[in-house]
Structure 1
Amino acid sequence: MGAGMAASLRRAGFALCVHDVRAEVAQAFAQAGGTACASPAALGAQCDVVVSVVVNAQQTEELLFGADGCAGTLRPGSVFVMCSTVDPAWSAALADRLDERGLLYLDAPISGGAARAAQGQITMMTAGSAAAYAKAGAVLDAMAAQVYRLGDAPGAGSKVKIINQLLAGVHIAAAAEAMALGLREGVDPAALYEVITHSAGNSWMFENRMAHVLAGDYTPLSAVDIFVKDLGLVLDMARASKFPLPLSSTAHQMFMQASTAGFAREDDAAVIKIFPGITLPEKKT
């Protein structure tokens, strides 16, 4: 998604600096416009708004506070826009740490996938100070079709994103279970897909992810281990207030099972592979 978001900023005319752990990726991107930076520190020295699109809190910590992190090179008053799915309490604490350095922060998880990111059509669930929005608002609008402003308390955006991931994970798990039952019962999977996608039982996740199953293509657009992490965050948030989440717990166990069975880095639709006694469609050549 980061590449698509950067492309949207480039189309909007922003002077863009990019960094990727794969230097060749950043350099290839910059050939069409922009500057490839060798490290987050080098990028921070040139930017007043930094948009971080990484997997988790640990990677965010590294790009900010690691040996080549950007927190030490960003000028006071610069904005750090955090787009990962993380623990809301961690996000709120990060805002305080950056404030101590004179840096502004936007808690800004994203949703929509790579295709929408490339079109500037993602959804952003954001929270932060008026000063942060004043400086970074145009950047957000260039990347997203919807920028939801959920208050001035960092962590609010992350809470909404985690609830979204609850639904996404449960819907994928339920979609896989339904398709697996159909296969077990000898229903033609293409016919089942056609009927369900035109019936009340359909969901966006069924329509999108079960198309991957029909194609036999588990190239990761969002991997199984992403939902091991995200549903884990869902359960952690609920556990803090002793709030029961029976469906989320079951879905998390399904993704955990798929991960330990060897499908961790496959597309999250590969959760269907945990079901016994079914023959999945083969990849079309």
Structure 2
Amino acid sequence: MRVAVIGLGSMGMGAALSLLKAPGLEAAGCDPRPGAQAEFAGAGGTAVGRAADLPQGTEAVQVLVVNAGQCEAALFGPEGAAPRLAPGAVIVNSSTIAPEEARRLAAKAGAAGFLYVDAPVSGGAVAARAGEMTVMASGSPAAMAKAKPLLDAVAKKVWRLGEEPGLGSTMKVVHQLLAGVHIAVAAEAMALGLKAGLEAQAVFDIVTTAAGNSWMFQNRMPHVLEGDETPRSAVDIFVKDLGLVGDLARSVAFPAPLAAQAHQLFVSARAQGHGGKDDAFVIRAYQALTGIRLPKD
């Protein structure tokens, strides 16, 4: 089966490399960055800079880009993948987008003769490279069946939420409420400890062996300890994703005060020039307010 991944970021690269390892799949990867292309090509994959250059007859394409606009351009824009896809191919959209955008793109895919699976993912870069992502999927039985070889290669667990596009994206937005708030509160706890005179390493070691620990604290705070601002997932991503949480909450008349507070913290870090940094460095917003010194500053 000829498959492809559009967007070779921290999650997309892992997905593409997992497809390379899967028997019976011929994998291509698309990303405009030469470094990402070189990494994937070095692993034995076909790497291209434009979706319009994917192999002709691609039967399944997984999209892992930043937002709905990028999704639409990657699939249906002037340099999009649509002309390279086989008739009846399946689009597996794993980008984090609003549910209404998932429904709109699914309708556009259907009009073009393609199947569509609304399939956001989670798990982090390590899980992606291990082929162990969690997938929150919705799509028709035909779409899910067509996507199965791809999903089996990249996922440890595929949750089926129903047939209607948008259900997967709704679940991902709910998930991002938790993810964003957990990162923000991890930063708050670490910043408070530093302000109160504790050693950062001690805060980390104790929290990660106690009841207050979270996956996000354990995963993100080592970046702060190491002073590593390389964006596995950037502050800007949670400006977007927590914005989606707010939009969804308003659309169903649901109060989401914790998500709103966390969103403002990420917006603050972005306003201070940290939008492109690893999302753990939302802690810079607390640094600006309190004058704390981070371990590697």
- Contact conserved, 1:108 with 1:126, CA < 8 A, in 2? yes
What is residue 86 of structure 2 aligned with on the other side? 75
What is residue 12 of structure 2 aligned with on the other side? 2
**Aligned match for 2:223, one of 199, 212, 215:** 212
| Cα RMSD, aligned residues only | 1.4
What is residue 159 of structure 1 aligned with on the other side? 170
Deviation (angstroms), 1:253: 0.1
Between the aligned partners of 1:183 and 1:32, the Cα distance in structure 2 is: 42
**Aligned match for 1:185, one of 193, 196, 210:** 196
Unaligned runs of 5+ in 1: none
Instruction: Indicate how the Cα distance of structure 1 residues 34 and 191 shifts in structure 2: closer, same or farther if over 3 A, else same.
Output: closer
- Contact conserved, 1:45 with 1:70, CA < 8 A, in 2? no
Between the aligned partners of 2:218 and 2:36, the Cα distance in structure 1 is: 31
Aligned partner letter, 1:163: V
* Secondary structure at 2:85 match in 1: coil
What is residue 46 of structure 1 aligned with on the other side? 57
**Aligned match for 1:249, one of 253, 256, 260:** 260
Between the aligned partners of 1:167 and 1:66, the Cα distance in structure 2 is: 33
Give the TM-score of the pair, scaled to structure 1: 0.95
Answering whether residue 268 of structure 2 is matched by residue 282 of structure 1, we say no
Aligned partner letter, 1:11: K
What is residue 93 of structure 1 aligned with on the other side? 104
Instruction: Indicate how the Cα distance of structure 1 residues 180 and 38 shifts in structure 2: closer, same or farther if over 3 A, else same.
Output: closer
**Aligned match for 1:21, one of 32, 46, 50:** 32
1:189-200 to 2 correspondence within 5 Å? 189-200=200-211
Between the aligned partners of 2:77 and 2:273, the Cα distance in structure 1 is: 31
Between the aligned partners of 2:284 and 2:216, the Cα distance in structure 1 is: 17
Aligned partner letter, 1:10: L
Deviation (angstroms), 1:74: 2.1
Between the aligned partners of 2:29 and 2:187, the Cα distance in structure 1 is: 37
Between the aligned partners of 1:44 and 1:15, the Cα distance in structure 2 is: 10
What is residue 147 of structure 2 aligned with on the other side? 136
Between the aligned partners of 1:216 and 1:34, the Cα distance in structure 2 is: 33
Answering whether residue 139 of structure 2 is matched by residue 119 of structure 1, we say no
- Contact conserved, 1:44 with 1:50, CA < 8 A, in 2? no
Instruction: Indicate how the Cα distance of structure 1 residues 38 and 202 shifts in structure 2: closer, same or farther if over 3 A, else same.
Output: closer
- Contact conserved, 2:33 with 2:49, CA < 8 A, in 1? no
Between the two proteins, the alignment pairs up a number of residues equal to 283
Between the aligned partners of 1:38 and 1:213, the Cα distance in structure 2 is: 33
Between the aligned partners of 2:210 and 2:38, the Cα distance in structure 1 is: 46
Between the aligned partners of 1:12 and 1:21, the Cα distance in structure 2 is: 24
Deviation (angstroms), 1:227: 0.3
* Secondary structure at 1:233 match in 2: helix
Measured against aligned partners, the alpha-carbon deviations of 1:76-119 in whole angstroms (never above 9, x if no partner) come to 21101101000001101111111111110000111111111111
Identity %: 52
Aligned partner letter, 1:278: I
Unaligned runs of 5+ in 2: 1-10
Measured against aligned partners, the alpha-carbon deviations of 1:143-193 in whole angstroms (never above 9, x if no partner) come to 111111111011111111111110010011111111111111101221111
Between the aligned partners of 1:214 and 1:250, the Cα distance in structure 2 is: 24
- Contact conserved, 1:4 with 1:118, CA < 8 A, in 2? yes
* Secondary structure at 1:244 match in 2: coil
Aligned partner letter, 1:2: G
Measured against aligned partners, the alpha-carbon deviations of 1:231-280 in whole angstroms (never above 9, x if no partner) come to 00000111112211000000000000000101001111111111222111
* Secondary structure at 1:75 match in 2: strand
Q: Which moves more between the two structures, 65-74 or 21-30?
A: 21-30
